[in-house]
Chain A
Amino acid sequence: MNYEHEFAYWMALSHLPNWGNEKINRLIIQIIDNYKISFAEFFELNAEELKHEFKLNDRQAKDIEQAKIDLPNYSFLSESLIEQGFRIIPVNSKEYSSTLKQNLKIQNAPPILYVKGNTKLLNEPSVAIVGSRRASERSLEFTRNIAKKCAENYEVVVSGFAKGVDKTALDATLEYNGYSIVVLPQGILTFGGGIKKYYKKIIEGDVLILSAYHPNAPWSVGLAMDRNKYIYGLAYTIYVAESDSKGGTWTGVLDGLKKGRKIFIRKPEPGEKNANNLLIMKGALPVDFYGNPVKENGNTIEEKLKEILSQKALPLEAVKNALKSEIEIQDKELRKVLTDIDFIDSKKIKGKTYYFLKTSLPKQGDLFSQ
């Protein structure tokens, strides 16, 4: 299918300010599937029709009007992109990653992708390798092991071009002659240096550079956090090399687990300072140094805590002691876990915090008797 003459429309809609992917996707579905009109016809509608037919509010109708004025400007921008060898892939294109669409759904899937390189990689079996920017040497070694495995299995490695695990994943994959998708935390036109560095791999079809943001958007912390969802979304399987108990990897994994994604995580050696074990107890699947699954006794940290607290309320040290055989955990992290779980409540007694189960709430006297 040739979308060329529609690029300006796609771009104008995709970059509607502060709409979010979901609203934009729903609008596009309404235009294409429900009303079955062309983009040109849509942009001919007046504010009243937009509000009435498309249920837009005043501000949204104004945004569409502005987008209409911007259309010729987007034509210039799209011409410049295409001329420079970038491709624009709308969400309804066959080339669009079906994994991404399935994982992120209408709520989060980006309406268009800007890419350079081998677009076939978008629909190959894919693996994300994620982890901290300041990962340990062991985590980086693990990353290389997974990358090698992926290269051998013809799986595409998805990573984010950040320092640490991301860059190691990319470089190791290419070292083992594998394929890789690089998901940018910035607009694709601002990545000249990176494209030059991976030029040969790009033109040989081993690498695809991908961005879901406005082509001129500069790198930012916000986008660096935001694009994690696209890394997870583009992957069929996810490997975590190392995670802290906060930050991009942590929230990414938790979010993935909530959505029922299968996430493999490196089982740490005793004494490692990271939150890998905690994530294992939250449902991530432990793997060894080479990515092979490790048997766990199966209880999640939620189940374990339910068991520990089923008898009586306990202070933090007591909970930590009870968990000791399963997981080494810092006070701060444990406190956070306990506060986050919705069936656990806490109460301060004589300057000490006690944790207890909200449900089976016996008489207070019993519960807090020492």
Chain B
Amino acid sequence: MTRSEAEQHLKKIFNLDHFYDDQWATISKILNGERILLIEKTGFGKSLCFQFPATLFDGLSIIFSPLIALMRDQVNYLNSVGVSAACVNSEQTPDENNAILQQARNGGLKILYIAPERQENQEWLDAVRHMNLSMIVIDEAHCISVWGHDFRPAFRRIINLVKMLPENFPVLATTATATDRVAQDIIQQMGKNAALIRGNLLRHNFSLNVVKVKDEDEKLVWLANFLSLAQGNGLIYTGTRVTTEIISSWLQFNGIHAINYNAGLDADSRKEIENGLQSNRWKCVVSTNALGMGIDKPDIRFIIHTQIPQSPIHYYQEIGRAGRDGKPTFLYLLFNPADMDLPTHFIKNSRPSIKKYETVINALKEEPLSEHELMQKTNLTQTQVRVIKADLLDQGIVKEVLYNKRKKYEYQFNAPPLDTEPFEKLREFKFHELRKMHEYVQTDSCRMEYLCQYLGDSNVGKCEKCDNELQTNHKVEMTDFWQRKINAFKTSYFPELTFSLKGTNLVDGVAASYYGMSNVGSVIHRCKYENGGDFPDFLLKLTLRAFRKKFGNQKFDLILYIPPTESGDLVKNFSEKISTVLGIPISHGLKKAIQTKPQKIYQNFVLKKNNVKNAFIYKPEEEINGKKILLIDDIYDSGATIKEIGKYLTKLGAPIIAPLVIAKTVGGDIK
């Protein structure tokens, strides 16, 4: 097919007149059965490079993509132009997914989008055996490389698949962000002389800025100022889930229409926020970097980072989601020297100790185990188990085997010993990247040029739009007005306890504080473990204020408190005081049915849940029926205990169970 023939076809289906040169170069290689890595910036039109040839092939083209939002958008678009496309993902019901797989088997689809994790799924593997396949596409291909900014273990299987595909079967890998090192790594892994097509990276409409501050409060001030004046809508990226909550609350406190988004929210809420983002329902969405990848929104006008990213490539990728329409777009990085601690900590602790690897290996030498079973056997956190098993899989020490559709891990005969050298190399490399990111903050030359050079595009020239080029000096002034406002905010901000537990009458509760946000955590610790006596009155006042803010004049019939494992009568005494102040009767009838261990010795939710399962009993049972219950505890960690009691009290007929605690921990293994 010649280019002009192809462009006629293009006009007919996609109503576009021409291909860019890089697009046509890619497409003609695909039609020729070659393997290609295509690196082009966001907004270039990478997806046309596979959507177009897919319409020419007899069979089905499979697009591996980690981004559900992107799949949805592209499927909608393709269906609107009359190309039969669908996606299989975890947000659809199994019935919906099976119907789509059946359609693909029957030849009723041209394009099928799936997540790379699907390659581990028995239904998918059974179905794909019967599909007539024409092309494989790997979107976000930088996830293949450990040297990239977002290595994902699920992509390992995709690249293994590519290695085993017939020689003249077309394979396209695409990404917007890959350094030379990452590109070479991907090419080498794709094998069979994959070709590289790389466009330029300069985003002409970007104005890059760095705002240097002395502390976190200054960031809050700058944000409130900026957002009350900013044009258009945008995103704020923070470092942790908790900060998304705090910052969005702060902005709301200042009358700015903001909402927080993080991976801890349930699927419905996430979808709701993604849709709202599309229609500019909020001035800004405050999020961890889980949001925005692959969202095809043309007019994100600003992106603010309140935490320094781990590397220039992370940064370029994350800001890449803004300004796809080509109109002026503003990027801000807020930097407080102490911010280096978080990424440094992450890099240092990115891998568990060798001993923990050995614990996992030894457990698997006894029997094949699933992820949950491993957590039970080893008392490691879910994250640790996941990191360890990904490394062990990568080194061929264990394999992932399906037992009746359930994934288990098997130790392998003749497995090599654990090689820790790659871990060290990767750690050094990550520190190098973090230093480069710090250099971006400190540089006084063109910021866009700095980023592009880092990413392997060396002839971009100056952007003439960044703060250094325009010689703008961003400053924050902490006035009395702002100081007072921040204090007011801090004493009225209470963390939510959210439960998505179907079939119980447990409602969302509230904590008086984060455990580590002020001195609350250390005071609780002193009382509980260092004979510091009863919880002091300021905690009582704070807790009552949280109660009033969350529950207002809502009526409760009974106060229960969670029976302690080892800290004596602290919670009982505390609950009695609350009972007196609020005038709600208290009952001491909630007891332990069995001896439990302190929850904190368990590192993961599986063991925490097991520890408290059927552990509570209330006498006399009939007393609960019809009572609205306020449930009090000192510390909220995984929520497993409250969930267990919530289930139990629901069974006894309580119409509402509302948890109230003094402090919520941060970064526990919560699921």
The yes or no answer to A203 lying at the interface (CB within 8 A) is yes
Known pairs A8-B165, A84-B410, A196-B367 / 11 extra A-B pairs, C-beta < 8 Å: A5-B163, A9-B166, A40-B167, A71-B169, A79-B119, A79-B161, A83-B399, A84-B402, A199-B367, A203-B410, A203-B413
Does B420 reach chain A (CB closer than 8 Å)? no
Within 8 A of B (CB), among A219-257: none
Q: Mark B571-598, 1 if CB is under 8 A from A, else 0.
A: 0000000000000000000000000000
Chain A residue with Cβ nearest B130: A73
Q: How far is the CA of A38 from the CA of B192 in the complex (A)?
A: 14
Contact of B472 with A by CB under 8 A: no
Interface string of A44-80 (1 = CB under 8 A from B): 1000000000000000000000000101110111111
A182 to chain B, nearest CB (A): 14
Q: Is B400 an interface residue (CB 8 A)?
A: yes
A73 touches B133 (CB 8 A): yes
Q: Does A346 contact B (CB under 8 A)?
A: no
Give, as a whole number of angstroms, the nearest-CB distance from B122 to chain A.
9
Report A's interface with B, CB cutoff 8 A.
4-5, 7-9, 38, 40, 43-44, 69, 71-73, 75-80, 82-85, 117-118, 192, 195-196, 199-200, 202-205, 216
The answer to whether B403 touches A192, judged by C-beta atoms less than 8 angstroms apart, is yes
Given A82-B160, A83-B160, A199-B410, also A75-B400 (CB < 8 A): no
User: Closest chain B residue to A205 by CB distance?
Assistant: B413
- At the interface, yes or no: B412 with Cβ under 8 Å from chain A? yes
Whether B161 pairs with A204 at a CB distance below 8 angstroms is no
**List of B residues within 8 angstroms of A195 by Cβ:** 401
Residue of A at shortest CB range from B166? A71
The minimal Cβ–Cβ distance linking A338 to chain B, given in whole angstroms, is 51
Listed by A's residue number, 13 A-B pairs whose Cβ atoms lie within 8 Å are A5-B167, A9-B166, A40-B168, A76-B125, A77-B129, A79-B160, A79-B164, A83-B157, A83-B160, A85-B399, A85-B410, A203-B365, A204-B413
Interface string of B224-266 (1 = CB under 8 A from A): 0000000000000000000000000000000000000000000
* Contact in complex: B164, A8 (CB < 8 Å): yes
Are A199 and B157 also in contact (CB < 8 A) when A43-B166, A69-B132, A85-B399 are? no
Which of A4, A38, A72, A78 contacts B169 (CB under 8 A)? A72
- Bound Cα distance A80, B128 (Å): 11
Asked if B400 and A73 make an inter-chain contact with CB atoms under 8 angstroms apart, the answer reads no
Residues of B within 8 A of A200 (CB): 365-367
Total CB contacts across the A-B interface at under 8 A: 93
Candidates B131, B132, B166, B412; contact of A8 at CB < 8 Å: B166
Q: Which of B399-458 contact A (CB under 8 A)?
A: 399-404, 410-414
Closest chain B residue to A84, Cβ basis:
B401
A85 neighbours in B (Cβ, 8 Å)? 399, 401, 410, 412
Cross-chain contact B191 with A205 (CB below 8 angstroms) = no
Say whether B368 faces chain A, with CB atoms less than 8 Å apart: yes
B413 contact from A72, A84, A117, Cβ within 8 A: A117
Report A44 CB to chain B, min CB distance, Å. 7
Are A80 and B125 in contact (CB-based, < 8 A)? yes
Q: Which residue of B lies closest to A7 (CB)?
A: B164
A5/B160 in contact, CB under 8 A? no
Assess whether A72 is in contact with B401, with CB atoms less than 8 Å apart.
no
CB distance from A118 to the nearest CB of B (A): 5
Which residues on A sit within 8 Å (CB–CB) of B129?
A: 73, 76-77, 216
Q: How far is the CB of B271 from chain A (nearest CB, A)?
A: 30
Instruction: List the B residue with the shortest CB-CB distance to A71.
Output: B166
- Chain B residue nearest in CB terms to A116: B413
Please state if B164 and A75 are interface contacts (CB–CB under 8 Å): yes
In the bound assembly, the distance between CA atoms of A203 and B361 in angstroms comes to 12
The reply to whether A73 and B413 form a contact with Cβ atoms under 8 Å apart is: no
Within 8 Å by CB of B191, from A5, A43, A196, lies A5
Task: Please report the total number of B residues contacting A with Cβ < 8 Å.
Answer: 36
Whether the pair A73, B131 counts as a contact (CB closer than 8 A) is: yes
* Mask of B351-368 contacts with A, CB within 8 angstroms, 1/0: 000000000000001111
**0/1 per residue, B132-167, Cβ < 8 Å to A?**
110010000000000000000000010011011111
Contact across chains for B414 and A199 when beta carbons are under 8 A apart:
no
Contact B163 A72 (CB under 8 A): no
A369 and B367 CA atoms in complex are apart in Å by: 75
CA distance A338 to B594 in the complex (A): 78
Contact assessment for B404 and A192 in the assembled complex, using a CB-CB cutoff below 8 Å:
yes
Which of B161, B191, B412 contacts A75 (CB under 8 A)? B161
Q: Considering residues B130, B161, B403, which has the most beta carbons from chain A within 10 angstroms of its beta carbon?
A: B161
**Interchain CA distance A117-B411 in the complex, whole Å:** 11
| A285 shortest CB reach to chain B, Å | 35
Residues from chain B with a CB closer than 8 A to the CB of A71 are: 165-166, 169
In the complex, chain B residues whose CB is within 8 Å of the CB of A9: 166
Contact (Cβ within 8 A) A75 B119: no
CB distance from B178 to the nearest CB of A (A): 24
List the A side residues contacting B403 at CB < 8 Å: 192, 196
**In the docked arrangement, what's the CA distance between A75 and B128, Å?**
10
Give bound CA distance, A38 to B414, whole Å. Answer: 31
A84 in complex: contacting residue of B165, B399, B414, CB < 8 Å? B399
Using Cβ atoms and an 8 Å threshold, which residues of chain B touch A199? 367-368, 410
Chain A residues near B167: list those with CB within 8 A: 5, 38, 40
In the complex the two chains form, is A72's CB within 8 Å of B119's CB? no
Inter-chain CA distance A314–B410, complex, in Å, is 65
Cα–Cα, bound, A73→B105 (Å): 12
| Chain A residues with CB under 8 A of B192 | 5
Minimum CB–CB distance for B60 against chain A, Å:
10
Q: A77-B129, A196-B368 are in contact. Are A4 and B164 (CB under 8 A)?
A: yes
What residue in chain A is nearest B410 (Cβ atoms)?
A: A85
Among A72, A73, A78, the one with the most B-chain Cβ atoms within 10 Å of its Cβ is A72
Report the 7 A-B pairs with minimum CB-CB distance, sorted nearest first. Answer: A85-B399, A72-B133, A40-B167, A79-B161, A71-B166, A84-B401, A75-B164
Evaluate whether A118 and B414 lie within 8 angstroms (CB atoms) in the complex, with A73-B133, A76-B125, A200-B366 already known.
Answer: yes
- The distance in angstroms between the C-alpha atoms of A135 and B365, with both chains bound, is 35
- How many Å from the CB of B152 to the closest CB on chain A? 16
Task: For residue A274, give the distance in angstroms from its CB to the closest CB of chain B.
Answer: 38
Please, which residue of chain A has its CB at the minimum distance from the CB of B366? Answer: A200
Measured between C-beta atoms, what is the minimum distance from B193 to chain A in Å? Answer: 12
Chain B minimum-CB-distance residue to A77: B129
A118 touching B169 by the CB < 8 A rule?
Answer: no
Task: Give CA–CA (A118, B192) in the complex, Å.
Answer: 31
Contact A75 B410 (CB under 8 A): no
Report how far A203 CA is from B128 CA in the complex, Å.
Answer: 30
The contact string, 1 if C-beta is below 8 Å from chain A, for chain B 314-340, is 000000000000000000000000000
Known: A73-B130, A73-B133. A78 touches B412 (CB 8 A): no
Min Cβ gap A10→B in Å is: 11
CB distance from B61 to the nearest CB of A (A): 11
The distance in angstroms between the C-alpha atoms of A118 and B413, with both chains bound, is 7
Residue of B nearest to A202 (CB): B413
B367: A residues at CB distance < 8 A: 196, 199-200
Residue pair A40, B412 in contact (C-beta under 8 Å): no
Q: How far is the CA of A72 from the CA of B399 in the complex (A)?
A: 23
- Give the nearest-CB partner of B367 in chain A: A199
Contacts of B161 in A (CB 8 A): 75-76, 79
**Structural contact, A40 and B125, CB atoms closer than 8 A:** no
**Binary contact readout B613-657 vs A (1 if CB under 8 angstroms, 0 otherwise):** 000000000000000000000000000000000000000000000
